[in-house]
């Protein structure tokens, strides 16, 4: 079983879209997808149409995203929401419409997906990881709004009598969920950008840096999971995605560049695998072998046996 595991990463999720495009165009398709936060958004969108054409449409769609689609308002409206105790910087109405727009009209529940998908969220009450998708009748919208409820940008999401937060708060790269479901080959698409030292100081930078510090700690734990998986004979292709840019959390102006960067990183990884020798080199090796075979001197025929003496 081949599984794709997609981490969180906010507006840098465009990197994953580019990497998914590279994988599907190389003929690598998943039997299972596990995602959290923006990785859940990308994972569900791919699971709805798990083809190379679907991955291309998804990558193209990232270039069309605007800030108002996800994070409406400005600094004044954000300040007003904070002062009036709204519980988050942004409302969720625009984002809800955006999520529904990323899915085909006939895909609304997990049972409608073309590939099984697990979406993670964090239970606010217990602090434990919650898994959406085990029940095929669950709504995708509930799962995605719960998995992306990252404070303070979005408020906790109410579902089934509980409040849920972004799944990345517990498991930014839910690798163990794929292993538990029998995956033997896993492609991880982990966004590993950090806020650089030259980022502008302020509340948003402080919050984002704090989240990154927590996610980096989780990254160390996931590396231990990778080591254990290798010991069990599970192949893990660890594709680490970085943009090298200090983007504000609501800046989607570089999405097309991030898609291209994610595709390039994934292709470079695939081309580095021993089994992925470029076809041109394979053809050259075959040509050389044939030339050597033709040029090799053939052994001379043995001399004819003398005729027997007459009786």
Kindly report which listed range (70-74, 293-297, 298-302) carries the lowest average pLDDT score: 298-302
pLDDT at site 198 = 46
- SS3 of residue 289 by DSSP: helix
Does residue 99 contact residue 38 with C-beta atoms inside 8 Å? no
Q: Which of 66, 51, 49 is CA-nearest to residue 11?
A: 66
Q: pLDDT class for 8, splitting at 50, 70, 90?
A: very high
Q: Which of 188, 191, 163 is CA-nearest to residue 249?
A: 191
Q: Which of 196, 212, 248, 263 is CA-nearest to residue 22?
A: 263
* pLDDT tens sequence across 113-142: 999 999 999 999 999 999 999 999 999 999
Structure tokens at 94: 């625009």
Residues 6+ apart with CB under 8 A from 158: 164
Select the more confidently predicted residue: 79 or 68. Answer: 68
Kindly report which listed range (23-27, 79-83, 221-225) carries the lowest average pLDDT score: 79-83
Q: What is the mean pLDDT of residues 19-30?
A: 98
Q: Supply angle C-alpha 132, 18, 261, rounded to 5.
A: 130
Q: What is the mean pLDDT of residues 170-197?
A: 85
Largest Cα separation within the chain, whole Å, is 126
The β-bridge relationship of strands 157-159 and 162-166 is antiparallel
Q: Which of 278, 276, 266 is CA-nearest to residue 187?
A: 266
Position 302 pLDDT exceeds 50: no
Q: Supply angle C-alpha 262, 268, 274, rounded to 5.
A: 140
pLDDT at site 24 = 98
Q: What is the mean pLDDT of residues 263-285?
A: 74
pLDDT at site 285 = 54
Select the more confidently predicted residue: 214 or 306. Answer: 214
- Report DSSP letters for 168-199, one per residue: GGT-SS-HHHHHHTT-SEEEEEEE-----TTS
Does residue 87 contact residue 155 with C-beta atoms inside 8 Å? yes
The rounded percent of the chain whose pLDDT value lies above 90 is 56
Q: What is the mean pLDDT of residues 80-105?
A: 79
| pTM for the predicted model, two decimal places | 0.81
pLDDT at site 210 = 54
Q: At what angle do helices 52-62 and 255-272 cross, to 10 degrees?
A: 140
Kindly report which listed range (139-143, 163-167, 240-244) carries the lowest average pLDDT score: 240-244
Position 197 pLDDT exceeds 50: no
């Amino acid at each position: 079983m081949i599984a794709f595991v997609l981490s969180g990463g906010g507006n840098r999720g465009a990197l994953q879209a580019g990497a998914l495009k590279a994988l599907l165009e190389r003929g690598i398709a998943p039997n299972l997808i596990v995602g959290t936060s923006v990785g859940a958004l990308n994972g569900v969108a791919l699971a709805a149409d798990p083809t190379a054409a679907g991955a291309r449409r998804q990558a193209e769609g990232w270039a069309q995203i605007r800030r108002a689609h996800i994070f409406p308002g400005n600094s004044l409206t954000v300040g007003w929401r904070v002062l009036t105790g709204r519980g988050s910087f942004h409302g969720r109405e625009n984002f809800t419409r955006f999520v529904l727009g990323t899915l085909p009209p006939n895909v609304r529940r997990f049972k409608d997906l073309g590939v099984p998908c697990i979406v993670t969220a964090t239970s606010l009450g217990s602090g434990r990881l919650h898994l959406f998708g085990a029940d095929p009748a669950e709504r995708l919208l509930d799962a995605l709004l719960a998995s992306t409820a990252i404070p303070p940008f979005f408020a906790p999401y109410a579902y089934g009598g509980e409040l849920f937060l972004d799944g990345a708060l517990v498991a930014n790269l839910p690798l163990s969920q794929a292993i538990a479901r029998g995956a033997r080959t896993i492609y991880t698409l982990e966004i590993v950008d950090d806020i650089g030292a030259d980022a502008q100081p302020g509340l948003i930078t402080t919050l984002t840096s704090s989240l990154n510090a927590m996610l980096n700690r989780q990254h160390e734990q996931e590396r231990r999971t990778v080591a254990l998986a290798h010991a069990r004979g599970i192949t893990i292709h660890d594709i680490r995605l970085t943009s090298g840019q200090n983007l504000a959390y609501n800046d989607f102006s570089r999405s097309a560049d991030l898609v291209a960067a994610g595709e390039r990183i994934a292709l470079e990884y695939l081309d580095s695998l021993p089994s992925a020798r470029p076809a041109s080199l394979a053809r050259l090796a075959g040509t050389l072998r044939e030339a050597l075979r033709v040029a090799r001197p053939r052994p001379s025929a043995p001399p004819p046996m003398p005729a027997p003496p007459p009786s």
